[in-house]
Amino acid sequence: MLALYSRRSGSNTLLFLERVLEELPFPVQRIQTDRGREFFALAVQQRLMDYAIKFRPVKPASPHLNGKVERSQRTDLDEFYATADLHAPDLEEALLTWQDHYNHFRPHGSLNGLTPWEKWYELAKLTPCWDDVEALYDPTKERIRHPEYRVDLQLRNLERGK
């Protein structure tokens, strides 16, 4: 899923989240992100809880934990942005065309040569529906996360009584 925004912000993160939830053919159970401030906005975290989505920011200096995203972004840079005119009035349309190609036609080595949509179709029968995901979500195990990793760990430990 790709989109263009003028800046990183909580409001743009919410716009992107709504688009993701609208376009994906399966329920989102958790979102793992880097520690960008836009993901820690109270409105973003509350919306994730409202949708029964677990928020899992990765530990600082751990790009390997976001490897799939890092690899996808590298492919976008090498295969789309390297050839795109970033000032073209139809850039958003070109990005959507690239997204369609990436998901439906481009084989992926990490998926044994399948496209993401072929892999999704293969796994669709194993994918839970929204009602199942919501039923398994325990809001008492979720909390508003602090953007500073050390502070967040201390808060977690306080809540656990350590």
Residue 158 one-letter amino acid:
L
Report if pTM > 0.85. Answer: yes
- pLDDT the model gives residue 162: 64
- pLDDT the model gives residue 99: 96
- pLDDT the model gives residue 86: 93
For residue 15, give the H/E element and its range: helix 10-23
Count CA atoms within 13 Å of residue 116 on its CB side: 12
Going by C-alpha positions, the residue among 145, 143, 141, 139 that lies closest to residue 40 is 145
For residue 81, give the H/E element and its range: none
List the pLDDT tens digit at each of the 162 positions of the chain.
999 999 999 999 999 999 999 999 999 999 999 999 999 999 999 999 999 999 999 999 887 888 888 899 999 999 999 999 999 999 999 999 999 999 999 999 999 999 999 999 999 999 999 999 999 999 999 999 999 999 999 999 998 886
